[in-house]
Amino acid sequence: MKNIYFLGGGNMCAALLSRLKTDSDFRLFVAEQNPARQAFLRQTFDITVENALPPLTADDILLLAVKPQDMQNALQGVQANGALVLSIAAGLSCQTLSNWLDNTHRIVRIMPNTPAQIGLGFAGLFADSGVSNADKAIAEHIMNAVGKTVWVENEDDLHTVTAISGSGPAYVFYLMNALFQAACDLGMPQDKARQSVLQTFIGSAQLAEQSGEDFGELQRKVTSKGGTTAAALAVFENAQTDKIIQQAVIACQNRSIEMSKQMG
Ligand SMILES: NC(=O)c1ccc[n+]([C@@H]2O[C@H](COP(=O)([O-])OP(=O)(O)OC[C@H]3O[C@@H](n4cnc5c(N)ncnc54)[C@H](OP(=O)(O)O)[C@@H]3O)[C@@H](O)[C@H]2O)c1
pLDDT tens profile 106-162 = 999 999 999 999 999 999 999 999 999 999 999 999 999 999 999 999 999 999 999
Q: What is the pLDDT of residues 35-66, one digit of tens each?
A: 999 999 999 999 999 999 999 999 999 999 99
> For the chain, how many residues are written?
264
What band does 264 get if pLDDT is binned at 50, 70 and 90?
confident
For the chain, the straight-line distance linking the first and the last C-alpha, in angstroms and rounded, comes to: 35
Angstrom distance (rounded) from CA 32 to CA 184 = 43
CATH number of 168-260: 1.10.3730.10
| Atom 33 of ligand 1, nearest CA residue | 32
pLDDT confidence of residue 72: 96
CATH number of 2-153: 3.40.50.720
Q: Which numbered atom of ligand 1 lies nearest the CA of 70?
A: 28
Q: What is the pLDDT of residues 204-255, one digit of tens each?
A: 999 999 999 999 999 999 999 999 999 999 999 999 999 999 999 999 999 9
pTM of the model: 0.93
Radius of gyration of the chain (CA): 21
- The CATH 3.40.50.720 domain(s) of the chain lie at 2-153
Residues 6+ apart with CB under 8 A from 156: 257
pLDDT confidence of residue 142: 97
- The CATH 1.10.3730.10 domain(s) of the chain lie at 168-260
| Atom 27 of ligand 1, nearest CA residue | 66
Angstrom distance (rounded) from CA 80 to CA 188 = 56
